[in-house]
Structure 1
Amino acid sequence: MKVVAFERNLQGTGASRRLRNSGKTPGIVYGANAEAQAVELDHNALWHALKKEVFHSSILDLEIAGKSQQVLLRDVQYHPFKQMVLHVDFQRVDSKKKLHTKVPVHFMNQETNPAVKIGGAVISHVLNEVEIECLPADLPEFVELDLAKIEAGHALHVKDIVLPKGVALVAHLDAENPVIASATIPAAVVSDEAASGGAAAPSEGDKPAA
């Protein structure tokens, strides 16, 4: 995705407030052994871009004064109750250095899973994103977890994700291998099954002999 920003010369609280009032959002670009650069972006364009998943997990082409550089979105500050972006941080990307970042997980085949479709199981997504490391050229927009065969009472872990070539889990996730999705049978379903499978209660006329 291409993002257009402009150099920002005035800094400070008052300058940032005036910038926001004029429909702009202040930001900063840093990293790759270069000086940090203050920038400003069109707020409405940024707001719509932030609604796209790809904007948060892909290498972005940031154009400033006609020159383009590759960056990752690193931080976004939102107003506590207004639909307003207060500030954004971008980190420059070095094509030769591995980066650590989070990517979203897309859960596949949940609706066709037999435990869900027939057994009434509910699959819970414990994590919706995972932290990976890779070279910028290998960065995926997302990773997939296949839920086709998970059974009720079982769970899948982050190592069950089939990662693209050149992509690895960060060290702590690889060591801990936390649960990413689990399948359970709701208590109401269990109760209904128990009631329908239990023996019928004796009627008044069926009293046992003394």
Structure 2
Amino acid sequence: MATTHEIKVQRRDDEGKGASRRLRRTGNVPAIVYGGDLDPVNIQLVHEDVLLASKNEWFYSSILDLSLDGDVQKVLLRDMQRHPYKQQIMHLDFQRVSADQALRTSVPLHFLNEDKSPAGKASDVVITHEMNEVAISCLPGNLPEYVEVDLGELKLGDAVHLSDLKLPEGVEIPELKLGKEHDVAVVIARHGRIEAEAESEDEEDVAGAVPAAKVDEEGKGE
């Protein structure tokens, strides 16, 4: 079952960059709520509260209860804009969700028992996580905060694909409906030597491409 988290918000009437700058100076974050059968609404949140919530994984993948003076709307975070170098959140986008309408979003992957697996215990095996989140589709009430990937039996040469993931009831991976070629690897256990050789080849390809680019540029300048 999905876990919900309440976030208190206030409505804001002022719009524009100037209004947003003034809002941030007072320790708040401008945001917008859209979607469903209702019009978009401009809101504001206390920056300290948002910053604290943003340190949690659930803030990005769970149903959130936006509470406006007791009026609660269920939403998903769809976009977050951060300051390029300050620890400041600049703007948030929330999308309303309906209990009877399937939604698409990405949730984190939690890898379990990697150290206990035969591959994890072997000194010459490199385990690579090809992805750290997965795109899923489900009703809001079935939305998991994360999907567990048990690697306890992982051995050298093994690969865990999207189709191998154990999903909660009512949850599916839309990518798998597009064909077998979309059943990509999530985790791969390779021999350390092979992994090192592959990285070395990639570095050589990059190094070899640089002089050629310079020659082309010089040729154009003549």
TM > 0.5: yes
Find the aligned partners of 1:128 and 1:187 in 2 and give their Cα distance: 24
The letter of the residue matching 1:7 is R
Q: Does 1:125 align with 2:129?
A: yes
Match of 2:62 in 1: 58
Distance 1:174 1:132, change over 3 A: farther
**Alignment correspondent of 2:138:** 134
SS at 2:59 equivalent: helix
Moved more, 146-155 or 22-31: 146-155
Q: Is the 8 A contact 1:124 1:182 kept in 2?
A: yes
Whether the 8 Å contact between 1:155 and 1:183 is mirrored in structure 2 is yes
Matched, 1:73 2:46: no
- The answer to which structure has the higher helix fraction is 2
2:165 aligns to what? 161
- Which residue does the alignment assign to 1:17? 21
Indicate if the aligned counterparts of 2:124 and 2:193 stay in contact, CA closer than 8 A: no
1:66 Cα deviation (Å)? Answer: 2.2
SS at match of 2:78: strand
The 3-state SS of whatever aligns with 1:34 is coil
SS at match of 1:35: coil
**Residue type of the partner of 1:72?**
L
Instruction: Describe the superposition over 1:112-159 as per-residue Cα deviations: whole angstroms up to 9, x where unpaired.
Output: 011221353121111000010001111111101111122212311111
Separation (CA, whole Å) in 1 of partners of 2:114 and 2:178: 24
TM-score of the two chains, using structure 2 as the length reference? 0.81
1:52, 1:81 → 2: CA distance? 20
- Alignment size in residue pairs: 191
Counterpart residue type for residue 64 of structure 2:
L
- Alignment of 1:87 with 2:91, yes or no, is yes
Distance in 1, Cα, partners of 2:121 & 2:61: 32
After TM superposition, the structure 1 = structure 2 runs for residues 101-112 of structure 1, keeping only pairs within 5 Å, are: 101-112=105-116
Of residues 68-77 and 113-122 in structure 1, the stretch that sits farther from structure 2 once superposed is: 113-122
- Are the aligned partners of 2:160 and 2:185 in contact in 1 as well (CA < 8 Å)? yes
Structure whose alpha-carbon radius of gyration is higher: 1
Alpha-carbon distance in structure 2 between the residues aligned to 1:28 and 1:69: 12
Equivalent residue letter for 1:25 = V
Structure 1 unaligned regions, length at least 5: 191-210
The whole-number CA distance in structure 1 between the counterparts of 2:6 and 2:178 is 33
Aligned to 2:107, what secondary structure does the other structure show? strand
Return the alpha-carbon distance in structure 1 between the equivalents of residues 171 and 191 of structure 2.
Answer: 34
| Contact preservation (8 Å) 1:107, 1:145 | yes
Using the TM superposition, give the Cα deviation of residue 69 of structure 1 relative to its aligned residue in structure 2, in angstroms: 1.0
Quote the Cα distance in structure 1 between the aligned partners of 2:195 and 2:66.
Answer: 52
Q: Unpaired segments of 5 or more residues in structure 2?
A: 197-222
Equivalent residues in 2 for 1:18-57 (5 A)?
18-57=22-61
- Alpha-carbon separation, structure 2, partners of 1:50 and 1:85: 9
Counting aligned pairs with the same residue, the percent is 43
Q: State whether residues 11 and 43 of structure 2, in contact with CA within 8 Å, keep that contact through their aligned partners in structure 1.
A: yes
Structure 1 length-normalised TM: 0.86
Query: Separation in 1 of the partners of 2:194 and 2:186?
Result: 24
Task: Check the 8 A contact 1:123/1:181 in 2, yes or no.
Answer: yes
2:119 aligns to what? Answer: 115
